[in-house]
Amino acid sequence: MADQPTYYLTTPIYYVNDAPHIGHAYTTLACDVLARFKRLDGYNVKFLTGTDEHGQKVEKSAEAAGKDPQEFTDAVSQNFRDLADFMNFSHDDFIRTTEPRHIAACQAMWKRLEEAGDIYLGSYSGWYAVRDEAFYGEDELTKTADGKRIAPSGAEVEWVEEPSYFFKLSAWGDKLLAFYDAHPDFILPESRRNEVTSFVKGGLNDLSVSRTTFKWGVPVPGDDAHIMYVWLDALTNYITATGFPDEQSADYKTFWPADLHMVGKDILRFHAVYWPAFLMAADLPLPKRIFAHGWWTNEGQKISKSLGNVIDPIELANTYGLDQIRYFMLREVPFGNDGDFSHSSMINRMNGELANDLGNLSQRVLSMIAKNCDGKVPEPGELSDDDHALLAQTHGMLDKVRHHMDRQEFHHAIESIWIVVRAANGYVDHQAPWKLRKEDPARMLTVLYVLAETIRHLAILLQPVMPQTIGQMLDQLGVPEDARTFAALGEGGALKPGAALPKPEGVFPRFVEEDSANG
Ligand code: ME8
């Protein structure tokens, strides 16, 4: 389709120094839900994720594991791909920064910056945190009792002195500020935008963009003694995946600039300051949005390997169900804020909202249809005011959900759906179709039809969040695979009275405590 709208979204590429955990799964999940939503809404979507495999931190981790860096990154990167499959992520491409396509793109990017006159040779002396792969000014650091210097992220810094190429970041401050001004939705949420703006207003220093004291990275073109700073290398992945430096490639033309770079708040500065400055200097178009989400803690504590409280998404999904945790992560915390994981809130959401609100609604209605309508979609009669009222809410959902999804307000998107779930439950209680069975069977058929149509809408809109379980729900409603897009929400896709339905089965079990012992 020539005029099909397009949408390109990316996750951060994760460092391969460590096993993937819930934080990585969270960012990619948010992108997965959005990618699925856009596809169902008719977009040609490109959804990119991957692994960041160069730099001192990865080199050190490989060394500690007694492995050659390539062998090490091959193994850890595979863990990230396995997690993505396990989580049912629908990425279209998985990029690794050690791939030849990416090394070529990085070197092309370097040359453009150099030709633009934005790179010069100097020497760096200052503080560097390997954990963050970031340079810090003395004024940003705090000192511990034993004299160590600590970056705001909590990472320890070390003194570095070496020849280095610099990027003239200082020359881009005003242009960045003008860009933020002209594009008020470039950085979301708004509080993060303010943070970035005041950082840039404070004045930018030139950025050291090459290192000479280790080898694990992309060589600087024309000067093999230097390797490119890992963040310049890593950020370039977003454009590599579109075929850059071939600006004539179909993917580049279709998808660059990206619609959304989704990141955690820890790496906002790299995405909202450095990356746009590199792109401006290289005379390339800038992405449309950087969204920085919040940070998860575990039962109130920072998640860290040293505290031994890292949450393994696989374990969690084995306990509660994959779609249950997908739902929980996007429902529990207003997207953008920090959030706390606790088993009790997980169980509350799972039992209260999935098993009770949604699961019971669908199970009640479908079993009444199975029992009282011969297992066929009932034939509605004339609609009452109550029927019209519920259907109006049902039909109004898509616009609301779309509005929130376009601003990455996943929690509001889900709430817009849940308003209708609750309204439908209220309608069941009020209409009491089980009583109508004897008193007014024709009215019962109408009520069950209105409910089945409402459930069809709810399910179609919930597919991005819980693709597997909701797929089963749509199977039970007899909705064909090709009638599950948002275009099919309209009358053309409505349930056909008389169509036979399969035997209903509950898809959202309650969590009972013994399950944890078994699972
Ligand atoms: O920073 N809560 O990679 P990284 C929420 N390679 N999100 C979390 C989280 C938590 N507790 N922990 C991690 C890097 N994340 C670079 C990125 S991009 C060009 C290069 C998520 O492996 C969150 O998205 O340290 C965060 O930004 C990212 O993982 C950091 O991943």
Tokens describing residue 508: 């959202």
CA of 48 to the centre of ligand 1 (A): 15
Ligand 1 nearest-atom number relative to CA 234 = 19
CB atoms closer than 10 angstroms to residue 269: 17
pLDDT confidence of residue 307: 79
Cα 355 to Cα 511: distance, rounded to the nearest angstrom: 9
Half-sphere exposure of 58 (CA within 13 A, CB side): 27
CB 177 within 8 A of CB 203: no
In a domain, 293, yes or no: no
Ligand 1: which residue has its CA nearest to atom 3? 14
pLDDT confidence of residue 518: 44
pLDDT confidence of residue 18: 79
CA of 404 to the centre of ligand 1 (A): 24
In sequence order, what are the beta bridge partners of 159? Answer: 127
Tokens describing residue 518: 């078994």
Q: Is the dihedral of CA 26, 27, 31, 32 positive or negative?
A: negative
Ligand 1 nearest-atom number relative to CA 132 = 1
Ligand 1: which residue has its CA nearest to atom 18? 12
Tokens describing residue 413: 């998107």
CA of 14 to the centre of ligand 1 (A): 6
Q: In one letter, which amino acid is 117?
A: G
Cα 282 to Cα 101: distance, rounded to the nearest angstrom: 19
CA of 20 to the centre of ligand 1 (A): 10
Ligand 1: which residue has its CA nearest to atom 24? 264
CA of 264 to the centre of ligand 1 (A): 6
Low-confidence ranges of the chain (pLDDT < 70): 1-2, 514-519
CB atoms closer than 10 angstroms to residue 184: 10
Q: Which of 48, 56, 79, 266 to mutate to test the pocket of ligand 1 (most atoms within 8 A of CB)?
A: 266
pLDDT confidence of residue 305: 75
Ligand 1 nearest-atom number relative to CA 294 = 5
Q: In one letter, which amino acid is 354?
A: L
Cα 267 to Cα 288: distance, rounded to the nearest angstrom: 17
Ligand 1: which residue has its CA nearest to atom 13? 23
Cα 313 to Cα 83: distance, rounded to the nearest angstrom: 8
Residue with the two structure tokens 């500690």? 64
**CATH number of the domain where residue 463 is located:** 1.10.730.10
CA of 165 to the centre of ligand 1 (A): 26
Q: What are phi and psi of 227, to 5 degrees?
A: -115, 150
pLDDT confidence of residue 488: 96
In a domain, 514, yes or no: yes
Ligand 1 residue neighbourhood (C-beta within 6 Å):
12-15, 23-24, 26-27, 52, 234-235, 237, 263-264, 266-267, 295-296, 303
User: How far does CA 53 lie from the centroid of its chain?
Assistant: 20
Ligand 1 nearest-atom number relative to CA 262 = 24
Ligand 1: which residue has its CA nearest to atom 4? 14
Number of domains making up the chain: 1
DSSP string, 318-348: HHH-HHHHHHHHHHHS-BTB-EEE-HHHHHH
In a domain, 381, yes or no: yes
pLDDT confidence of residue 516: 52
CA of 313 to the centre of ligand 1 (A): 15
CA of 185 to the centre of ligand 1 (A): 22
Ligand 1: which residue has its CA nearest to atom 8? 23
DSSP string, 367-407: HHHHHHSTTBPPPP-S--HHHHHHHHHHHHHHHHHHHHHTT
The parent domain of residue 376 ranges over 343-518
DSSP string, 120-158: EEEEEEEEEETTTTEEE-GGG-EE-TTS-EE-TTS-B-E
Q: To 10 degrees, what angle do helices 467-476 and 441-462 make?
A: 150
Q: To 10 degrees, what angle do helices 190-201 and 173-182 make?
A: 150
pLDDT confidence of residue 1: 56
